[in-house]
Amino acid sequence: MPKWVPSMLKKPELTEYRTLLLSLQTRLRGDVQHLADGALHRADGDGDSKSPTHIAELGTDNYEQDFSLRFVENEQEILEEISLALKKIDTGTYGLCEKCLEQGKPPAKSVIIKERLRAIPYVRTCMHCAEQQRTRKWRR
């Protein structure tokens, strides 16, 4: 990965996003564990479950089990995105659009707007590139 001038973001901002990412990571890790337990050990009694509308408790057929596991998979993907984003904070490329950089734009022109980063702190692309990606159906 090429090294840019230490990011387009100021240090307090980076700290803010890092905090956001870390808390999201913690929350997802907790949920993933809980869900995986529920999906894989559903035959066991769940006496200590405190969430009233937990997904794993909504049904007992295979469909429900599949659904729980698929949900875990998605969270796993998000967790991977989060650790990527955290790595980028360290290397100074956080907050820059991957697609723009691929197209050879300078970092200063590849900045993802703050509102977007706040909403999805692990996002990889700017609004413009995300839009293109969707219309061209690059992802499946």
Task: Say which residues have a Cβ less than 8 Å from residue 91's Cβ, sequence separation at least 6.
Answer: 1, 3
Q: Does 109 bind Zn ion (CB under 5 A)?
A: no
Among 9, 96, 100, 123, binds Zn ion (CB under 5 A): 100
Q: Where does this chain touch Zn ion (CB under 5 A) — which range of 18-26, 34-42, 57-65, 94-102? A: 94-102
Q: Please work out the total of residues on this chain that contact Zn ion, with binding judged by CB under 5 A.
A: 5
> Can you tell me the distance from the alpha carbon of 58 to that of 67, in angstroms, rounded to the nearest whole number?
11
Q: Which of 108, 110, 105, 137 is nearest to 124 (CA)?
A: 110
Q: Where does this chain touch Zn ion (CB under 5 A) — which range of 12-20, 32-40, 83-91, 96-104? A: 96-104
The one-letter amino acid code at 75 reads E
Which residues, in sequence order, are bridge partners of residue 111? 96
Q: Does 97 bind Zn ion (CB under 5 A)?
A: yes
* Closer CB to Zn ion, 34 or 99, in the complex: 99
> Can you tell me the distance from the alpha carbon of 29 to that of 38, in angstroms, rounded to the nearest whole number?
14
CB of 79 to Zn ion, least distance (A): 24
Q: Which of 100, 88, 125 is nearest to 9 (CA)?
A: 88
Q: Where does this chain touch Zn ion (CB under 5 A) — which range of 19-27, 60-68, 72-80, 98-106? A: 98-106
* Closer CB to Zn ion, 82 or 129, in the complex: 129
Q: Does 99 bind Zn ion (CB under 5 A)?
A: yes
Greatest distance between any 2 Cα atoms in the chain? 56
